[in-house]
Amino acid sequence: MKDRSSYRRIEAAKKTMAIIRFLSEQRQPVPGVEVARAVSIPSGTAMCHLVTLEDDRMVRRVGEHWELGDGMAILWARRKSQIESGIDRMKTNLSDIGA
């Protein structure tokens, strides 16, 4: 596998992550224009990102405003379960070796 520093970064993916990060910091739903301003992209581009994220429930539309969606919670719950399973396996392994 190539050194990860040799791969180019995809700007659209970086903007999508910036949108998710921005929404995660908001206490209430925010309008699309505010999302666009926060991540320094045109409103139309922000809306394209938002509706794409909405398709997988990563964000949710509330009237003309946006917030994180259930999809983010589902991903976190799966990751948390993986971490907990790993901890349980380690505990079992330690127990098996008498530690």
Segment 74-94, tens digit of pLDDT: 998 999 999 998 887 888 888
> CA-to-CA distance for 87 and 80, rounded, in angstroms?
11
Claim: this prediction has a pTM higher than 0.75: yes
Q: Are strands 59-62 and 65-68 parallel, antiparallel or unpaired?
A: antiparallel
Residues forming a β-bridge with 61: 66
pLDDT score of 65: 98
Report the C-alpha gap between 68 and 1 in whole angstroms.
Answer: 34
Q: What local confidence, expressed as pLDDT, does residue 36 receive? A: 98
What is d(CA 22, CA 30) in angstroms, rounded to the nearest whole number?
10
Closest C-alpha among 50, 85, 86 to residue 68: 50
pLDDT band for position 99 (cuts 50, 70, 90): low
